[in-house]
Structure 1
């Protein structure tokens, strides 16, 4: 099995946090989004992963440190890491084709901007599985249309009239991804463009027209990391799941001086908490110092200093220096507010 991960986008909706760190590498509940997503997919697949192919953007932004992090992720799962580049953002279908040498055999394609919780048996007899989640407002999503056999016969983007409540979440299984590769090559060769870009859906639609069987794989939870508010909410939900799983979330090296932790919280290595109440639903990266503060429902990354703060629904980057009484804030890396 292979996993193909298109992640060349700049994550503009999550700025300023994505000005210095690619969105898939921003930690949520103590682990980068893409690391958590790929590890959870591997658990669902329940079989050895042969290769993980990452499609990155410009090396000036997705540099050696990103490659090293992703290579380590693949190695932890016993897989080979392959690195490809999409230097010109021409859409989801084009991004996948940038990894053309890896597009053969059974594979999962996963876009690295969401997190999931799932527990189901993958239908490997189908030509493809499209993972979906039941939503209350399907008109805001791309959804699947099912026939009487529960096979997917159509993909409908933001339907004005009800089609189904099963939204496509951006994770796909292909029994032989070479079939998709060939259809996407046709899309590129014939300049089939939707929304100004080459789309994966146009390759999938050609597979459906050829009689390939598509079914749904439903996830229990689908969590977005598109902007600051939903990322903070996703951090809350993920911390709750990890607490139920019995994961250790507070490092032994945390130094507490007149400090209180209200669980669930993730507190990284060598964090210092002084005269502070943390939690619930807070993630703090390694090496951060928080003093004279109350923090809840927030994300604070590594090596920052937070003083005299009352924070709720806040997101603070790496190497930040913050001293103040603002509450709902979003501060990128290396910012100073004193």
Structure 2
């Protein structure tokens, strides 16, 4: 089994945090978004992962490539790195990894996380993972027939088609078929809004009689901007706290007259002095926090925080903050005091 991860976009809606780190590498409960994504996919598939192909932007750099290779190696998989040098859509991004498009594969966009407990229908030609939503007009949705097969993909329907939104994760029994159809999309220059879309390749597959079925997830968490990323961090911490599968608080933290209210992720070497942390807080390794109260917030690594009352805040790496703002969002190496 392969996992193909298009992730070339820098994530402009999550700035300033994505000015220095691509969005899929932003940590949620102590792990990069893309790492949590591929680990959860591997768990649902219940099959060995042979290869993970990452499609990245041309400016990501060697350090990011090495981090991605390590994520793949942690799952016992080969890492392949491909470059998408132009923002020409999902279909184009997938075709950048065409050398890896063979055999069974999952394609997953690296800005979403999920929780699911279902058996993947590996007899279907393809499975499109969906989530029931209250406002389907804001999403792309699937239409089903009485055989529980996907007959149509409808983008932001004005009239009610269904309430099953496409979350951006797809399984293909033979991804080479998608590759062939996307090549036709490129050859025909079939573009929408100046981009090549995966949906046009899927539509060509359906026209050939291939069977698409839905895979329903229990939870779908977005990481599109600061507000939803902080909310996703909160939800993920609660899931992990209930599951008790990961150690969330490092053994070597320093506590001086401080309290941790779970669920929280506290990384290695964190020092808390006269501080209350939690609930729903992630603090990366090497941070130092004094005389503060922090809840519902995400703080990355090696940052220093003093005299703060933070709620729904997001702070980057190597940042310094000493102030009265609560819902702040400051990026890497920022100083605000």
TM tier, shorter chain?
over 0.9
Q: Which residue does 1:280 correspond to in 2?
A: 279
Paired residue secondary structure (1:236): helix
Alignment of 1:51-200 (within 5 A): 51-58=51-58, 60=59, 62-200=60-198
Paired residue secondary structure (1:187): helix
| Structure 1 gap ranges (5+) | none
Paired residue secondary structure (2:286): coil
How big is the shift at 1:148?
1.2
TM-score (norm 1): 0.99
Q: Which residue does 1:43 correspond to in 2?
A: 43
Q: Which residue does 2:8 correspond to in 1?
A: 8
Report the number of matched residues.
336
Q: Does 1:206 align with 2:228?
A: no
Paired residue secondary structure (1:153): strand
Matches of 1:227 and 1:142 in 2, distance apart?
19
Give deviations 1:16-68, integer Å, cap 9, x for gaps.
Answer: 0000000000001110000001000000001111110000001x3x1111111
Paired residue secondary structure (1:322): strand
1:232 to 226, 230, 233: 230
Q: Does 1:34 align with 2:18?
A: no
Paired residue secondary structure (2:318): coil
How big is the shift at 1:274?
0.3
TM-score (norm 2): 0.99
How big is the shift at 1:177?
0.3
Matches of 1:53 and 1:111 in 2, distance apart?
12
Give deviations 1:176-195, integer Å, cap 9, x for gaps.
Answer: 00000000000000100112
Matches of 1:121 and 1:145 in 2, distance apart?
21
How big is the shift at 1:250?
0.5
Q: Which moved more, 1:242-251 or 1:34-43?
A: 242-251
Matches of 1:42 and 1:148 in 2, distance apart?
30
Matches of 2:220 and 2:12 in 1, distance apart?
21
Deviating above 3 A after TM superposition, structure 1's stretches of 4 or more consecutive aligned residues are none
Q: Which residue does 2:215 correspond to in 1?
A: 217
Alignment of 1:305-324 (within 5 A): 305-324=304-323
